[in-house]
A and B are shown apart, each in its own frame.
Chain A
Amino acid sequence: MCDQTFLVNVFGSCDNCFKQRALRTVFKKSQQLSYCSICAEIMAADGLHENETLASLKSEAESLKGKLEEERAKLHDVELHQVAERVEALGQFVMKTRRTLKGHGNKVLCMDWCKDKRRIVSSSQDGKVIVWDSFTTNKEHAVTMPCTWVMACAYAPSGCAIACGGLDNKCSVYPLTFDKNENMAAKKKSVAMHTNYLSACSFTNSDMQILTASGDGTCALWDVESGQLLQSFHGHGADVLCLDLAPSETGNTFVSGGCDKKAMVWDMRSGQCVQAFETHESDINSVRYYPSGDAFASGSDDATCRLYDLRADREVAIYSKESIIFGASSVDFSLSGRLLFAGYNDYTINVWDVLKGSRVSILFGHENRVSTLRVSPDGTAFCSGSWDHTLRVWA
């Protein structure tokens, strides 16, 4: 639980100031150098260098973009669904609502599973955050936040705490206690402070750090104990709506999606964006890594879900149908990555065959928009939360 995931790996002597700092790559007159973040910022803010004008920088950016597209296109030798033709088709699916969790007084906005595969935390527009036992549908804990629209909530890996936030611009951590005499709200700890609403939060591999995304266009990594900002991630041109951490075996990266239609992959240690994808036609509401960590899926207001492969550095599949015209609010993969569950604003959940690109099933049940969806940690079920005030567990 106490293992530090935040390790400064790219660490050494800055080429400019020679101090021992975390380093990032910069280009000075086409030479590749390693600068610390302070020197990199100073260099970026410098006045124009010789032979540089704003126009020349812009045209350089345009030509680099063109070159990037060319490089990516060269490797586009086949489509995923073509490679997947030899895979057996999936059989008929019988998935039904097995549990309905009722108790929220208003729209359910977010939910998360506990690692024990049984408990669920959910948050809603009325400011309430509830912890449920999904087997029995009993409510185990409830706390009322001082703000409405609690848009993000997360369960700590240990199962001993939850984090939540929304219009209060903060992410707060509440330790969970079974002591009837203790007031949960009294032990609240404010960890993150943004300058706009909190849209998503997630603990890293331990209870010690939290990653947040905000309407202020940034993501940030915080130390829970001290509330200190460990790293911030700038690059989105508009509100960041979602984030997902890479599965632990594949390293310290995470992906975020925002209202600027971009999905960006970040290195948690250096704070740099390592890859960016801009093929969606509207806000990206949800991003989720493929279980192997080599790809991620996104759900957007443009009514499509897309799969991006990180090593091929491009979009490899689109999950859409002419009949689907409402935005996808939330996506998640099944355990093997073969199925993609997506909740839509037309009250339905579509189940997609990730490899073949076809829809295998459509699930009805909710009476309003599906706002959040997560598969349980052992893959036996998935839970969806909706604006109809309920959560449903499907299996």
Chain B
Amino acid sequence: MKEGMSSNSTMSISQARRAVEQLKMEACMDRVKVSQAAADLLAYCEAHVREDPLIIPVPASENPFREKKFFCTIL
């Protein structure tokens, strides 16, 4: 937050104006409450956790990395 704002000489007019423009634009943004955003993150997790092989492991035969057999190619 403090970069560019501390020294009077380094901040040019165009930089200052650009910073003000950027902040005005960011201030206009529509935001949602954290409770809503958190609920959505939870919902996404719960909807997809069953398909996540690192949480609900698939049987070893279906996970190519956990399988015991070695891969050989026939040349």
Instruction: Provide the residues of chain A in CB contact with B17, threshold 8 Å.
Output: 43-44, 46, 57
B interface residues, tally (CB under 8 Å): 51
B33 with A312: CB separation less than 8 A: yes
CA distance in complex: A27, B26 (Å): 12
A58 with B16: CB separation less than 8 A: yes
User: With A48-B13, A71-B27, A379-B54 known to touch, is A87 a contact of B38 (CB < 8 Å)?
Assistant: no
Asked if A359 is an interface residue, CB under 8 A from chain B, the answer is no
B54 with A382: CB separation less than 8 A: yes
Asked if A311 is an interface residue, CB under 8 A from chain B, the answer is yes
B34 with A67: CB separation less than 8 A: no
Instruction: Provide the residues of chain A in CB contact with B42, threshold 8 Å.
Output: 83-84, 87, 355
A interface residues, tally (CB under 8 Å): 74
| A-B CB contacts (within 8 Å), total count | 190
Instruction: Provide the residues of chain A in CB contact with B40, threshold 8 Å.
Output: 292, 294, 311
Asked if A229 is an interface residue, CB under 8 A from chain B, the answer is no
| Proximity bits, A298-332, B CB within 8 Å = 1, else 0 | 00000000000101111010000000000000000
Instruction: Provide the residues of chain A in CB contact with B31, threshold 8 Å.
Output: 71-72, 75, 311-313
The chain A residue sitting closest to B47, CB to CB, is: A336
CA distance in complex: A309, B32 (Å): 10
The chain A residue sitting closest to B54, CB to CB, is: A334
The chain A residue sitting closest to B64, CB to CB, is: A135
Q: Give me 4 other A-B pairs in contact (C-beta within 8 A), A235-B22, A278-B1, A295-B41 excluded.
A: A67-B27, A72-B31, A118-B64, A274-B29
